[in-house]
Each structure stands twice: as structure tokens, then as C-alpha cells.
Chain A
Amino acid sequence: MEGFYSAVSLVVVVPLIGMLINLFFGKKLGEKGAGFIAVSASAFAFVVALILWATLVDQHYEPAIVNAPLIHSWISIPSAGIDIPWQFRVDTLSVTMMLVVTGVGTLIHIYATGYMHGDERFPRFFVYLNLFLVFMLILVTGNNLLVMFVGWEGVGLCSFLLIGFWFDKPGKHPTEGTVGWANSNAARKAFIVNRIGDFGLLMGIFLTFWTFGTLDYYKPHEVIHLEHDEAPPPVFAVEGAEGEHAGEEAAHVESGSEIHGIFTQAELWFEEGNHKVTFGSIDLDFDAVITLITLFFLLGATGKSAQIPLFVWLPDAMAGPTPVSALIHAATMVTAGIYMMVRSNSFFYNSDLTSFVVTIIGISTALAAGFMALGQWDIKKVLAYSTVSQLGFMVAAVGLGAYAAAMFHLVTHAFFKALLFLGSGSVIHAMEHGHHHAHEHGHDEHGDEHDEHAEHETHEEHETHTHHDDHEFDPQDMRNMGGLRHKMGLTYLTYLVGGLALAGIFPFAGFWSKDEIIADAFTVGFDEGELKGYLAIAVLLAAAAMTAFYTWRQICLVFFGKPRTAAAEHAPESSALMTTPLAILAIGTFLIGFIINAPKGFPLFGWLFGEHRFTLFLEESVIHAHAGSFNWFMAILATGIALAMIGIADSIYRKPMPIPMEKDPLETGQYQPLFALSNAKLYWDEAYFKYIVYPFQGAARFLANTIDWDFWHNFFHDRIIGQGFQGAADVISQPIDRQVVDKGFMSLATGVLAAGSRLRKTQTGYVRTYALSLMMGALLVIVIILLPTLRDLLGI
């Protein structure tokens, strides 16, 4: 089965082919054809990922490195000693990512064929979607940082293209002109904010290259089971054969130590201690360099995975079509930062400072974003902030050294957040249809003066906090919903599953993974006595409480109660193309937590499905991954808090809301300031504008207007140089130029012309002249060749 490893190229190539077909023939293929091509490309990639997984299992999780066809030596400058091959790495970590990306990706592709139905740029949407898959898979399959960076930038590009997909959407936007303009602004914001993160990642990559002389994670035939002191204790008996295998290979690494990949080399240098890295005249401790590298990596991760301070782009990114939000901005791309940090766990594990910073960033993001989600009206905004918050959980897990828990939460989150986003898409879709329906049939009870122009097949989506007296009907505003439980049964059920998973209720997926992170925090805090552990427990529990609250608030506002608008009254259930993926994801969300990673010591489930299987799987490629212990106390505490918050939210939002609904129940009472703070997102964007963007623009304006234009151009160039030159030129031109130079040049020109015509005369066309010139040339060469010898002979 070993040969199947090379199929990994297909995982990238097939979506690429799908993309190309739709790019060139998409229009001709039409909606059905283009959708079919895109979905099959994605599904095929999923099948390949499955094959790779089976191969890994068959090969005892032996990782493989596969050379990319054609572009293997894409950057290779032998003379400069630079060789960065394009290799794929198949190991348990990359296969996990592949399965998530292609599996969830395929479902979302199917959903999107329903959701985007009727869009004028339907094929282009799928071109972008497939292109996204290509880059995302490049990101996770690459065997070195630069290949990963190609994917990293590529998914950023696709994200940009897809956020701004409806860049020409008509309709008024309260603050930014038209909706289309707001959409493209959101796209730009995402791109620019990500550049900051990319800068960090690039710096990290440069430093890595300087330090190690290579960017490869691991070299071929290198094994990652290094024997070192901090190796996780073999709590879980590994089969004998495998254990021997690992030992044998560790010996192999030690004996045949030539060039290692960066991670093995880092481990070796850490073990060896006092390795120095030279930067010009400065020698730095290897530990310090790694801290620097990981901090840069962290900056990259805060951009792509939307953490403080760079998370501000993700909520705006909801301007994109909902399948995009589900695929890119919830399930896959935003987890790239997590993947990158888990991939380089050898670096992060060994840097205490960075780990601490990572934890702080993670938990503060989890808390802040959780708080912001409490006061949002837009159904997708709530989910967006929730995503930021959940990513914070994962980042915190990385900081706590719980790499397996981070990856586990990544996988479960991909399921339930994709489910929630797709569910919200289904709701939005239904609201739009309901709105049209109500409008067409004159059921318009509110007498809204709807803008006719905004009413065609494209979806109305714009970020807005407008109130009902606005001209636009906002199908994403939860105040307009209510009572959808009876209209869209399947969507409601699946949404409920997703919501409970998000809130961390047993036995849904979120429970297991969130609990594992919190339990790990407990271990780090109480067992190892580290500050970050205590902080993490407190903050993450608070964030989890908020999660439960806003989740239930959302479910109440959307599905319970009575319909609050005509649109909600007439909302139909979405088509099977959209609900089928919902159902599949819901089943996955229900099962995946305990099936793949039931914790040790948990009654029944562990016995039924095997304990910590996912962690064991991951340990084969993530050196510092370890299984957390199940902590009854924390589990019950967390679940209790979540249930309590659900209860509180239920008591507030379950009662009938006023029609039309304008204010949140919390907005009237004593909590009004808090709600306002949350609704305004802690004034985070405003602060950025006030303290960074505006000063920056001011400085730019100053440089442009005052320095460049007033001083440099007007004063220095025009006045000093220009006028001075003019004056000098007047002097020079009249007496000097006319009299002396002109005449001189005229005679020179005559000379050149004469020479030219003489030169041209050499090209006479007569063979004899040519032969003569050949002779002269021959003489010249002979003289030059003989010159040294003649000199020797004559003794000059």
C-alpha cells in the first residue's frame, strides 16, 4: 500500500483541474455542469484523502514525503546552496487536515450549488471555491514552510475574492454607500489585516531559514520519534511492534545524522543545549531565536486565525456568501494558524515565553469575542464572533501545550460551526424567499416601503444594525425572525444540534473537545502550578459561559416565539440540496466527539469506541501531543455553567418579543451599558481607526501634502532647483551654448556622420572588402594571442 502515498498529488491536482475546467468552460457548462464539476473535484479529493488515511493506518502511521511532479525543484539554486523542494508530507496531522478540508468542503460545495442557484456568476463562484481547496490543500500538504506559505497566501487571495464576491450588489448601505461597496471594503480589510500577519509569518520563515539553512519540516527517511526526556510517558500501551519500530528509527537518526529537517534539528539542538545562531556580529542563543521565530509565527497566526489584535477582519468577512463563511471563515482557512502552530509544536513547546503569550492571546480572544457575540443582531455576526472565540480556545490550547486538544477542537469545530453557518444560510435564504413571497402577495403587514431595486435573485446581505424604519429589509437581522421552528423543521433540528455542540453540552462534539482543553488547563494550572493554567481555566470557563448564553439567545430569537415579520411568516424550508448537507453535518456533529476521541476514564464511551484514538493517531506526527486526562470536576462544572447560562438565556429570550422588535430585553434594564458595549464590539474597530488608521492617514497626508508637495515639489524643485537652473541655463545658453557648445557639437556631429558613412562604406557589399576585414581581424587575433609570448621573448 505504500505506493498509495504518491496519490497525495491528486489531492491538490484534482481540485485544480476542476477549477480550470470551470474557469474556461464554466459559462458553457451552465449551473448544473459547473456545480457538478466542482462538487466532484472536491469529492474526489476527499476520496483521495480517505485513501491516504487508510494507507497511513496500513503503514503503521509511517509518515511519507512525496515529491511533487513537475515542480519538485521549483526553487533550486545549487550554486547558492538553496534548495527548497516542493514536497508533500503525508502524516497523521496533514491527513487529518485533508480529511476535514475535503470532507466538510464537499458538503459545503453541495450546499452551495443550492445556495448560489440563480446567481449570475455561479460558475465563477465555484472556480474560486475550488481554487480555495487547491491552496488550502497545498497549505496542509506541504513539507516545508515555503510551500505552506504559498498555500497561506493563496487561501488569503481566495478569501479576498470570495468576501467581495458580491462587489456590485445594489442597495444602500447605512455607512458605506452601497452594499457592494461595503462588501469590497470588507474584502480589502481582510486582505490588508492579513498582510500584517503574513509579514510576521514571512519574518519567521526567513529567520528559520537563516537558523537551519533549510525550510523542510522533515527530510525524507527522517523519523520524528526522537527519544528525548520530555517524551510523553507511554500511558497508553502502544503495540509492541510499533514501539520497537520507533526505537529502531530513533537510533537511525542518531547514527546517520547528516542534515535534518527543521523540527528534528531544533529538538537536537535543544537537547544539546547552548547552540548559538550567528547574525552577523551577534551570537544569539538558540532558545532566544526560537522564541523570536515563534513570536513571529504567532503574529502570522493571529492574522489568519483571527486573534487579538488582528481579529477585526473576520466579522466583516461575513459579507461573503454564506457557504464561504462556512467553509473558509469557520471550518478551514481560519484554522490554518492553528495548524501551523501545531505543525511547529517542536518550536512552540520549547519556548516558555511564547507559550505564555500564546495562551494569553488565546484566552483573551476567547473572552472578548464571546462578549461581543452577546449583543449582535446579525445572525452571521453572532456566529462570526463565536468563531473568533472558539479559535481563541484552540490557540489557548496550543499555548497550554495541549496540541492534541487544539486539533481535536479544530476538527469538531469544523463540523459544528460549518453546520451552524450553513443553517444560518438556510435561514437567510428562507427569509429572503419569505420576504419576496410576502411582498408579491401583498401580505406586507408592516407597510415597509421596500426598495424595488434591491429585490431580485441575488441575496441581500450586508452588515447593518439598522432598525425597522430603514428602507432595506435585512434578512439577517434576528429581530426580523422568530418562530421559524415550525416553518423549517429540519433546519431547526440541525441548528439545535450545532448550537448544543457549540455550547458544550454532553454528548455533542463540542463537549468533548472543549472539555479536553479545559481539563488540560486544569492540569497545567493545578498539577504543574503554572500561572497560564490558572488564568486559562478562569477565562475559558467565563468564555464558555458566554458561548452557551449567546448560542441559546440566538436559537430563541430565530426559532422560538412567534414570527415577527411577514418574511418570517412565509419562510419556506430550503431545498434538499441545502438540507441534506445540514443533516449529514448534524449527524457528524453528534457523533464525532466521542467516536474519534473519547477520553480515558469516561464510562462506556471509552470502552465502546476506544480511548483517545484521535490523540494517539496525532501523536504519530505531533511530537509533543499528549492525551489529557478526563477531569470529572471540570467537566461537570463546565457543563453546569453552560446549562445554567442556557437557563438564564431561556428565561430572558423565550418569552414573546414585541412586534416589531427593536430592542433586546437586556437593552432596557440595568444591563443596558453592558449590552451597548457588546453591541459596539467593545469599540475595537473605532479604537483602531482612532489610534492607528487615522494617525496613519494623517501622517501620510502630511508627507504627501506638506513634505512632498509643498516643500519638495513647490519649494525645493520649483523654486530652488527649477528657478536656479533656469537662471543658470539662461546664462549658459546664450553666450556659452550658442557660441561654443553648439559649434563644437555641430562639428562633432559632422564627424560622426562622416565616420558613420565611412563605417557604412565598410559594409560595401563587395566580397573583397569583407575578406580584407576578415584578414585584418585575423591579424588582430593573432597579435593578441601572441602578445604574452612576444612580451616574454622580448623581456618586456
Chain B
Amino acid sequence: MFSTPTFDELNIWAALPMMALAFGTCILLVADLFIPKDKKVYTAVLAGIGLGVSLLIALLQASGVEIGDKSTAFEGIFVVDQFTHVVNVISLMAGIIGIMVSYDYLERTGTERGEFYTLILFSTLGAMLMGSSRNLVMIFIALELLSIPLYILSGFRRPMLESEESAMKYFLLGAFSSGFLVYGIALIYGATGSFELVNVWQTAVDILEGEGAGQFTLLIGIAMVLIALGFKVGAVPFHMWQPDVYQGAPTPVTAFMSVTAKTGGFAAMLRVLVTGLAVVSASQGKAIDVWQDSVQVIAVLTLILGNFVAITQTDLKRMLAYSSIAHGGYILIAIAAGGTFGVGDSSAQAALVYLMAYTFTNIGAFAVVIALERNERNTITLNDTKGLAQHSPLLAAAMTIFMLSLTGVPLTAGFIGKFFVFKAALEANLEVLAVIGVLGSVVSAYYYLRIIVNMYMIEGDAHPVADKQPLALRSALWLTAMGTLILGILPYIMTDLARDVTLAIVGR
């Protein structure tokens, strides 16, 4: 009944970054057993090497080196295109920086367990797979691979109650949303008879152009998938978990999660919506609006709630959590733009550029929080940043870069991201959305710049934080700060990577 595919047909080489990381993770899992508890630094280094090797391969692929000869692997479940490569690069960078900011934290809080790194690696792998799946079932599996380690990581600071609580919440709500995803996938399958996005796209055209019962099934299925992925990226109104989890989880986990979960979620969202469901009428040559309106509404809600509630926060981590919600809103603008005929590719490019910029900036911002936490209590309020520039000028300078980038000030990566997102929105004739986005970033300037004001212009009673951070954290700060600046000044590093990204099947 089943014929076993040959190795050649599977075309495993094309998926080399993922395969390498998967093997590396499994080896690490075993190797960790032999590493004594006080030498966990080796595990961290090994994990870093695993990610590094994978990143190297991904970068090679992204810059045009062909590894493996076909564009798909595993019989079409898995796509190897520029989109895959870029998502790989982003996820792996996030993973590496995530590990760099983690090591010292774990050592300091006595939660130095080897599984931490394995889980980070698995989660990274999940994010990568979400970007490379062209099959709904595969997307589900990838989502679970991404999420489950994150649930565990959130509770990693056991026996600290907040940490455990956040893990529990995250897990319950995550399971709930997974239900939506499975249900949605099932409905889509029911309507179109396929899990393959390309087939879904073809059948969906017929269904939506004609009248029929399949129509409701399909539409509700799309809605369900959208909801589940919206939960993953923390879009309003599915965002409720995010502030609690971000605040409760160990800070390095928050840093890692804030980027990786978003990368995976948005990657899958782009694949599903832009490739599979950008339903284009064959006869009229334009898109039938299936999901653009809903994504627009979600984007607007996300932008407004994220930015406004962030203003009222006093806890730095929680403020960053809301800010992170708001940034999801900007990416949603790009995705909404993808619903217009002919804008699919530039919307994907814009979203990827934004994610790249966001990766460096947001992890960097959390890294500053980690650095501050070294001498402070567990919670860092905005008041704790007062006078920071006096005793830790470097840290303050780095934080300034991150805040400016999050605001979207030119010469930082954040500006480039916003530029492309708004450009995509204008291309798609979503002027209102672009205007709301711009207004949102104006509002955001208030709470980002407040931190800069605190650091530089207000005398602080803060306890001195030495500029001298442990090596790994220090390098992570340098890397993210310099990355944020360099990508802002030489944006073509990002745009060159994203330029060849094509997702839309027609209408380029």
C-alpha cells in the first residue's frame, strides 16, 4: 500500500539546517547527561555551536548556495525557498543570542539545568519548521514543537511561584488555541480535500467563486487558523496571556520567546494566508477578500491596545510585553497588505525585514533588563532606570539604541522595518491602516523615550549597576546594539536577504 520513499526522493539535504539542528539537539540531550552540574557552561557552548553550524548553513543557503537540488523536501511537505532561509536565519540568530543572555542568569538564579538549552534548541527548530512547512499538518506539528518547550521554559524558575503560574497559564491557553488550529485545519481539509497549501489555494478559488456549502466550512476554517496563529503571535484580542507570561517567565526566556514565538507564528501566518489563502479569482485577476478585513481589524486593535496600555505600565518587563504586542500589530499591517492582489511578496518581505530588525532590538532590550536585574530585585520598575547613564553609561547607551529602534527612529533597524511595513500597506491601498500604524508609533515614542529621559535626565537613586557584565551577556549586548545600528545604517543587509522572497502563487 505504501511505498517507502527513497532517500533521494526525500531530498533531505535541502533541509540541512533543520536536520543539523535536530541531530545536534538530540546529541546534546544525551551529552548533557555526562556533563556535571557545575560545568553546564559546556552545554551552553555546545548548544551555541549547534545553532551556529545550522546558522552557517542557513546563511549559505540564504545567500544563494544551493544545497540539495529540489525546492522541496519530504515529498513536498517541506519547502526550501528564500522565505525558509530567512526565517531560519532569524530564528537561529534569536536562539544564539537567547543562549548568550541566558547563561549568567541561570547560574545566578540557581536554575542551571542542562535541559534549558535543549529546550531552546527544540523551540528554535519549531520556529524554523513553521516557516518551511507548506502543509497544514506539518504546520501544526511545528507549532507544537515551538510551543511546548516554551511552556516548560516559562516555568523554568521553579519553585518561584510567578514563573510556575505563568507556565501554567501559557500552557492552558496554548492548548486551547491549539484546539482552534486543529479544528480549523480539519475544516479547511473538509472543504478543499487537501492539506497542501497549493492545493488548498486552487480549490478555494473554485469554492469561493461558486456558491456552495463548502464556503462556510472553508471560511470558518480560515478564521480558526487565523485565531490560533493570532494567539501565538499575541495579537489582540488573543493577547491576554502575554503580559502575565512575559512578566512571570525567567527574563532570558521572555527575551527569547518574544522573538521566536513571533517569528514562527508570523512565518506560518504568511505561509497560510499569503500562499494558501490569498484567494485570487481566476477570471477577474484580483483577490477575493477572505481574511484581509479581519487581519486589519486585529491589527488596529493590537496597535491601539498594545501602545496605549504600555504607557500605563510601571514594570519594565511588563511594559516591554505590551510593546511587544504592539510590534505584532505592525507586522500584522504587513500581513494585511498581503491580502491585496499583487502585494503578497512585498508584504512577506516587509514582515521579514521587520522581524529581523525586531529580533536584535527586542532581545537587546530584554538583555538590558537582565543586566539590571543582576543587582536589583526581580522586578525592574521604570524608576530603576533613573540615572542609569551616570553609573553605567554603556548600558544606558545600548538601551537608548534599543528604545530608539523600537520607536522607529532613522539610522536604527526599527526604522527600516517600519518603513517597509508602511510601504507595503500603501502599496496595498491600506492608507488608513498605515496612518494608524504611524500614529501608534507616535504614541509609542512616549513610553520609549521616557526611559531615555529617565536614564539621562533624571538623577537616580538607583543602586549602581556595574557596566561590567559577564562576558556572554556583554557580548550579547554589544551584538544586539551594534546589529540594531548596523542594520539601520546598512539596511541592504536585510533587504538583500529578503529581496528574493516570493510567497504569492500568482500576482507578482
Complex interface bits, A623-665 against B, C-beta within 8 A gives 1, otherwise 0: 0000000000000000000000000000000000000000000
Residues of chain B within 8 A (CB-CB) of A785 are 219-220, 222-223, 226, 290-291, 293-294
Please tell me if the beta carbons of A781 and B492 are within 8 angstroms of each other in the complex: no
- Give the contacts of B218-255 with A (CB-CB under 8 A): 219-220, 222-224, 226-227, 230-231, 236-238, 240-241, 243-244
Assembled-state Cα–Cα distance A78/B490 (Å): 15
Candidates A73, A756, A763; contact of B243 at CB < 8 Å: A763
Assembled-state Cα–Cα distance A781/B289 (Å): 14
Residues of chain B within 8 A (CB-CB) of A76 are 492
Q: Identify the closest chain A residue to B309 (Cβ).
A: A759
Please tell me if the beta carbons of A73 and B496 are within 8 angstroms of each other in the complex: yes
Please tell me if the beta carbons of B169 and A774 are within 8 angstroms of each other in the complex: no
Assembled-state Cα–Cα distance A270/B177 (Å): 69
Please tell me if the beta carbons of A767 and B237 are within 8 angstroms of each other in the complex: no
Complex interface bits, A50-76 against B, C-beta within 8 A gives 1, otherwise 0: 000000000000000000000101101
Please tell me if the beta carbons of B173 and A767 are within 8 angstroms of each other in the complex: yes
Residues of chain A within 8 A (CB-CB) of B490 are 71
Q: A767-B172, A784-B294, A784-B297 are known contacts. Are A774 and B240 too (CB-CB below 8 A)? A: yes
Asked if A780 CB lies within 8 Å of chain B CBs, one says yes
Please tell me if the beta carbons of B243 and A781 are within 8 angstroms of each other in the complex: no
Q: A774-B173, A774-B176, A780-B297 are known contacts. Are A788 and B289 too (CB-CB below 8 A)? A: yes
Candidates B219, B220, B227, B499; contact of A777 at CB < 8 Å: B227
Residues of chain B within 8 A (CB-CB) of A1 are none
Residues of chain B within 8 A (CB-CB) of A786 are 216, 219-220, 223
Asked if A237 CB lies within 8 Å of chain B CBs, one says no
Residues of chain B within 8 A (CB-CB) of A281 are none
Q: A774-B231, A781-B223 are known contacts. Are A769 and B240 too (CB-CB below 8 A)? A: yes
Assembled-state Cα–Cα distance A780/B243 (Å): 22
Residues of chain B within 8 A (CB-CB) of A79 are 346, 423
From DSSP, what is the main secondary structure of chain B's interface residues?
helix
Residues of chain B within 8 A (CB-CB) of A608 are none
Asked if B469 CB lies within 8 Å of chain A CBs, one says no
Asked if B99 CB lies within 8 Å of chain A CBs, one says no
Q: Identify the closest chain B residue to A75 (Cβ).
A: B492
Asked if A770 CB lies within 8 Å of chain B CBs, one says yes
Please tell me if the beta carbons of B293 and A784 are within 8 angstroms of each other in the complex: yes
Asked if A700 CB lies within 8 Å of chain B CBs, one says no
- The number of chain B residues touching the other chain, given as a range, is 35 or more
Complex interface bits, B489-500 against A, C-beta within 8 A gives 1, otherwise 0: 010100010010
Residues of chain A within 8 A (CB-CB) of B379 are none
Asked if B298 CB lies within 8 Å of chain A CBs, one says yes
Complex interface bits, B159-195 against A, C-beta within 8 A gives 1, otherwise 0: 0000000001100110011001000000000000000
Min C-beta distance of A83 to chain B, whole Å: 11
Assembled-state Cα–Cα distance A175/B490 (Å): 47
Residues of chain A within 8 A (CB-CB) of B219 are 785-786, 789
Residues of chain B within 8 A (CB-CB) of A765 are 244
Residues of chain A within 8 A (CB-CB) of B168 are 767
Residues of chain A within 8 A (CB-CB) of B236 are 777
- Give the contacts of A651-691 with B (CB-CB under 8 A): none
Complex interface bits, B410-426 against A, C-beta within 8 A gives 1, otherwise 0: 00000000000001000
Residues of chain A within 8 A (CB-CB) of B172 are 767, 771
Residues of chain B within 8 A (CB-CB) of A767 are 168-169, 172-173
Min C-beta distance of B496 to chain A, whole Å: 7
Asked if A721 CB lies within 8 Å of chain B CBs, one says no
Assembled-state Cα–Cα distance A71/B493 (Å): 10
Asked if B215 CB lies within 8 Å of chain A CBs, one says yes
Please tell me if the beta carbons of B216 and A789 are within 8 angstroms of each other in the complex: yes
Residues of chain A within 8 A (CB-CB) of B496 are 73
Assembled-state Cα–Cα distance A770/B289 (Å): 30
Assembled-state Cα–Cα distance A597/B244 (Å): 82
Asked if A782 CB lies within 8 Å of chain B CBs, one says yes
Assembled-state Cα–Cα distance A767/B290 (Å): 31
Residues of chain A within 8 A (CB-CB) of B237 are 773-774, 776-777, 780
**Which residues of B are interface residues toward A (Cβ below 8 A)?**
168-169, 172-173, 176-177, 180, 215-216, 219-220, 222-224, 226-227, 230-231, 236-238, 240-241, 243-244, 289-291, 293-294, 297-298, 309, 312, 346, 423, 490, 492, 496, 499
Q: List 8 A-B contacts (CB under 8 A).
A: A765-B244, A767-B169, A769-B240, A770-B241, A774-B173, A776-B237, A789-B216, A789-B219
* 17 more A-B residue pairs beyond the given contacts A777-B227, A789-B215, with a C-beta to C-beta distance below 8 A: A71-B490, A78-B499, A763-B240, A765-B244, A767-B169, A769-B240, A770-B169, A771-B176, A773-B240, A781-B223, A781-B226, A782-B220, A782-B224, A784-B297, A785-B223, A787-B293, A788-B289
User: Which 7 pairs show the lowest CB-CB distances between chains A and B?
Assistant: A777-B237, A770-B240, A784-B294, A782-B223, A785-B223, A778-B227, A781-B294
